[in-house]
Amino acid sequence: MIQTTNLTRKYGDLVALDNLNLQIDEGECYGFIGPNGAGKTTTIKILATLLKPSWGEARVDGKVIGYQNAEIRPSIGYVPDFMGSYDDMVVREYLDFFATCYGLSGSQRHRAVGDVLELTELNYKANSQVAGLSRGMSQRLSIARVLLHDPKVLLLDEPASGLDPRARIEIRELLKELNRMGKTILISSHILHELAELCTSVGIIEQGKLLFSGKVSDILDKAKVGQVVHIEVTQQSKEAATLLRAVEGIRSVDVVTENNRERIDITIDSESAFDQSEIPNRLIAQGFRITSMQGEQINLETAFMRLTKGLIN
Give the contacts of 153 (CB within 8 A, at least 6 positions apart).
1, 2, 47, 60, 61, 75, 76, 77, 183, 184, 185, 186
CA atoms of 53 and 69, how far apart (whole Å): 13
pLDDT of residue 271: 60
Q: What is the CATH number of domain 227-297?
A: 3.30.70.100
Look at residue 307 and tell me whether its pLDDT is greater than 80: no
Distances 258 to 70, 239, 255, 265, 268 between C-alpha atoms, Å: 55, 18, 10, 12, 21
CA atoms of 100 and 108, how far apart (whole Å): 10
pLDDT of residue 167: 86
Please provide the distance, in angstroms rounded to a whole number, between the alpha carbons at the two ends of the chain: 29
95 closest CA partner among 156, 140, 153: 140
- CATH 3.30.200.20 assigned to 2-220: no
Summarize the confidence of residues 261-286 as an average pLDDT. 81
Domain boundaries, the chain: 2-220, 227-297
Residue 76: φ, ψ to 5°:
-120, 150
Give the contacts of 100 (CB within 8 A, at least 6 positions apart).
109
Q: Which residues pair with 8 in a beta bridge?
A: 55
Look at residue 295 and tell me whether its pLDDT is greater than 80: no
188 closest CA partner among 3, 15, 17, 39: 39
Give the whole-number percent of the chain exceeding pLDDT 70.
89
pLDDT digits (tens, 9 = 90+) for 172-215: 899 999 999 999 999 998 777 777 778 889 898 988 999 888 88
Same CATH topology for 2-220 and 227-297?
A: no
